[in-house]
Chains A and B, each alone.
Chain A
Amino acid sequence: MTSSIPLSAQLINLFAAVILLLGFAMLAQRRMLSLINLFALQGFCLFLATLVAAVTTGQVHLFYSAGLTLALKVLLLPWILHRLVRQLKVKREVEALINIPTTMLVGIVLVMVAFNVALPISELSHTITRGTLGIALAVVMLAFLMMITRQKAISQVVGFLSMENGLFLAATSATYGMPMVVELGIALDVLVGVIILGVFFFQIRDQFDSLDIRHMEKLKDN
């Protein structure tokens, strides 16, 4: 059976597995700078996976996607986030409501759910990368979980970006990527989003003297 899977597919599966592993690592990581580094590494794996898919299928727009991923998610966004963390002087995440081992267990359950859900969908697909759909869904869910359990605004943004990584992987694995226009649009959205959120971080800190989002609970309409 193993011999029937081509080398490129095996490589893509490997990178996808590493992306998932990095997703777990991000879920467990509490130090901000390491979190951003892990995110950059995840982006790099995504870049490699897309590159392999591009080389194998020879689709030109996948090369563009790969280049975009490298430029944006591996270099530009981590650099912006690094600068933000240095300027805002946020070192670590506070203790979350759910402790890390429990979070990891919930994450494992989510991965199982994701694989279970993705199974019938990946059978409909005919791409060489279809096996990674479950992984992509699991990455999305892990990132979502990270957004829920974290208290600092920066780790939520990292969770959001990681979720975008998962969606990108899903798109690549199911249909060899989205149309170029959509991909460019999403990339621009993410970039602008991070820049705006960076501005917000400073505003939030000026207002509350902290980046802890629990302070925003009092903003609700009563």
Chain B
Amino acid sequence: MPGLLSLDLLISAACAWLAIGLAGLVAPGNTRFIARFLFPLGAVIGIAVGVVALASLGGEAQVAVLAIGLPDLPFHLRLDNLSAVFALLLGFVSAGISVYAAGYFRDGKGTAPGLLCIEYHVFLASMLMVVLADDAYAFMVAWECMALSSFFLVTTDHRHEEIRRAGFIYLLIAHIGAIAILLCFGVMTGGSGDYSFAAMRQQELAPFWTSAAFLLALAGFGAKAGLVPLHVWLPEAHPAAPSPVSAMMSGVMLKTAIYGLLRVSFDLLHSTIWWWGVVALAVGLLTAIFGVLYSTVQSDMKRLLAYSSIENIGLIAVAIGLTLIFHAYGMDALAALAMTAVLYHCLAHAGFKSLLFLCTGSVLHATHERSLGKLGGLIHPMPWVAWLALAGVIAGAGLPPLSGFVSEWLLLQGFLFSPGLPHPWLNMVVPVAAALVVLVAALAGFAMVKFYGIIFLGQMREPALKDAHDAGPWEKAGLVWLALITLFLGVMPSTVILRLDAATRQLLGAGLADTLNQQGWWMLAPISAERASYEPLIVLVTIAATLLLARWLVRSLFHGRVRRGSPWDCGYHFEGPRAQDTAEGFSQPIRRIFEPVFRMQRQFPAARDAQPVYNVKVEDHFWYWCYLPIARLANWISALIVTLQGGRIAVYLMYSFITLLLLLLVARP
């Protein structure tokens, strides 16, 4: 075929990322060269990846065989619509993060910039290969490269013990997940020994084995995505990693896990069983509620965002569950609606969560402080970061007119049709799930208000915050880019969904395009305009008009003379910035209402304490329910096994001798 295929371009992009990474090794200590030249170059390639993937959406699937890999086991690659959606996400979001990283990484302690450069770009290239892989071998190689490169990125500041510990937990759970994925692929080959995805699509497996494959995929990809109970690495790894890395992991890497789950459950396994959907729905709901509740009570801004990522992944899993249920009952239009919600939320979350993580990076650089209790009032010294973070916060809270609202609205639309399910229990239970999703959305709003309000609004809680400076030009550019993505996804949903439609159609055989094409581009009515519709531009214009009107009214009624006076101090003479509502105080009602959900250790001050200290520590129940028992069991078994090692050579020889004898006796011809 003349000319280059999109797939070839994407492979070249992955190679280019690797080349940039290697170029970083030429001068590993030269921060200027690496940050100002190599990272922006990586961003350009990111945009190219996004554009190529966008252009290939809706086209025919393209395949390629790379001549690398083991002998007789080359890498098979394939670019279809599902891969294209996730490559698009990777390209556009990583471009913003790379530009930001150009201004973020500086000289100093930790890993040398050259090493960071190669780890970061290997991470990007391996994520691209994950979405392009068309056989289990290539997939696992790319998947493990992704896990390892991100592990090294997380442990950039490896001199701190807690960061090494976070990295270890991350690596451990990544490997548990990888084992489950490997087993899942093993089940799907059906004993044929052919590990290409094309062969897996042809396999006719018994229902028991398809269910086993699905559950293994849910566990394996769930470990990477952060589904409960395999979520514990997220709140550890995200605060430990540098902010661009957190943004990349939360925004993009978690989505590769969603990609894998979609690939396995809708593409490789062609039959669907309804209870898979129920399992995914239940796990997703649990994850969403758990994530959002814990995110409301965090006092570390990056942990708050990490738990919020868990919540969003939970919502995506809920949408996947709903899609599975609709698909299993052959309700394809509704399945397409729920699938659109999945893909849309992936895009939306990738945009706004990386935006928010990057904002925390700027705050961290300006103030050297991660704890919410020592921030506040940063909108004055850091107006750019504050206003751009507001975009992310609005999207994260699921408010119109930004991206988070669209996907959550689509998801709820899907739920509204669930009473039509032909299963007597499902059509009663699923609406309850819808109510819980609404609860999650509301609590997510609470968490976002807390995040924004405590960091940027009010007065500065520490005097040192006055020296905070706004983000540099590179950082601003990256933030603006991501904010624009968030705005675009919020305002132009029909346009985006029409592009995503190819992927939905590929997986389910149905899409929303026919319905949407009957309406104008400004309007989103997934099933019919009579039933429900959303016109984002009208919402945007209304909000803007109201704000401008209010401002005009205030300005015209009030003469513009700003007076600053001390407010009534309620009789307390010590009234300063420290008397503002704290992060802990803000979330106290949630802690009180949902008390059984948390494991809390509180330390109250005594009655006449001269220096009263209030301390609350919220811990994760899952540590005590799942992980510590397993760790204790492992210790116990190790203690048993260590008795074998008595130190006597005669005994060791005896072990070999008895083994030899037994083998001779057992393995007789």
Contacts and interface: CB of A to CB of B under 8 A. Distances in A.
Given A117-B668, A120-B669, A148 B648 contact: no
A147 B653 contact: yes
Contact of B653 (A144, A218, A221): A144
A117 B665 CA distance: 7
Contact of A213 (B649, B656, B665, B669): B649
Contact of B661 (A113, A121, A219): A113
Nearest to B667: A117
Given A214-B648, A217-B647, A145 B669 contact: no
Q: Which of B645, B647, B665 has the most CB of A within 10 A?
A: B647
B626 interface: no
A82 to B, nearest CB: 24
Among A148, A151, A217: residue with most chain B CB under 10 A: A148
Contact of A219 (B647, B656, B657, B669): B647
Nearest to A153: B649
Interface in B109-128: none
Contacts of B661: 113, 141
A73 B638 CA distance: 43
Interface in A67-96: none
Interface string A126-146: 000000000000000100110
Interface in A81-123: 97, 113, 117, 120-121
A183 to B, nearest CB: 22
Contacts of A148: 650, 653-654, 657
B645 A149 contact: no
B650 A97 contact: yes
A146 to B, nearest CB: 10
Contacts of B647: 216-220
Interface in B630-669: 645-650, 653-654, 656-657, 660-661, 664-665, 668-669
Contact of A217 (B646, B657, B664, B668): B646
B668 A120 contact: yes
Contacts of A120: 668-669
A156 interface: yes
Contacts of B657: 141, 144-145, 148
Contacts of A141: 657, 661
Interface residues of B, number: 16
Given A113-B661, A145-B657, A149-B650, A121 B669 contact: yes
Contacts of B669: 120-121, 124
A216 B652 CA distance: 12
B664 A144 contact: no
Interface residues of A, number: 22
Contacts of B649: 156, 213, 216
B653 A220 contact: no
Contacts of A217: 646-648
B650 A117 contact: no
B462 to A, nearest CB: 50
Contacts of B645: 220-221
A197 B187 CA distance: 50
A87 B647 CA distance: 28
A90 to B, nearest CB: 17
A147 B650 CA distance: 7
A102 to B, nearest CB: 15
B653 A117 contact: no
B165 to A, nearest CB: 24
Contacts of B654: 148
Nearest to B661: A113
Nearest to A156: B649
A113 B662 CA distance: 11
Nearest to A144: B657
Candidate in A97, A117, A216, A221 with the most chain B CB atoms within 10 angstroms:
A117
Nearest to A149: B650
Interface string A203-221: 0000000000110111111
A98 B516 CA distance: 89
A121 B656 CA distance: 22
Interface in A165-222: 213-214, 216-221
A218 B656 CA distance: 21
A72 B649 CA distance: 27
Contacts of A144: 653, 656-657, 660
B354 to A, nearest CB: 46
B648 A117 contact: no
B277 to A, nearest CB: 51
A149 B668 CA distance: 27
A98 to B, nearest CB: 10
Contacts of A145: 657
Contacts of B664: 113, 117
A34 to B, nearest CB: 22
A133 to B, nearest CB: 12
Nearest to A145: B657
Contacts of A221: 645
A125 B646 CA distance: 41
A73 B648 CA distance: 29
A24 B646 CA distance: 29
B646 A220 contact: yes
Interface in A25-47: none
Interface string B284-308: 0000000000000000000000000
A148 B664 CA distance: 19
A213 B660 CA distance: 23
Nearest to B650: A148
Nearest to A159: B653
Nearest to B652: A148
Contacts of A214: 648
A151 B645 CA distance: 18
Interface of B: 645-650, 653-654, 656-657, 660-661, 664-665, 668-669
Given A148-B657, A220-B646, 14 more contacts: A113-B664, A121-B669, A141-B661, A144-B653, A145-B657, A149-B650, A151-B650, A156-B649, A216-B647, A216-B649, A217-B647, A217-B648, A218-B647, A220-B647
27 contacts: A97-B650, A113-B665, A117-B664, A117-B665, A120-B668, A124-B669, A141-B657, A141-B661, A144-B656, A144-B660, A148-B650, A148-B654, A148-B657, A149-B650, A151-B650, A156-B649, A213-B650, A214-B648, A216-B647, A216-B649, A217-B646, A217-B647, A218-B647, A219-B647, A220-B645, A220-B647, A221-B645
Task: Give 7 closest A-B pairs by Cβ, nearest first.
Answer: A220-B647, A217-B647, A148-B653, A117-B664, A120-B669, A144-B657, A213-B649
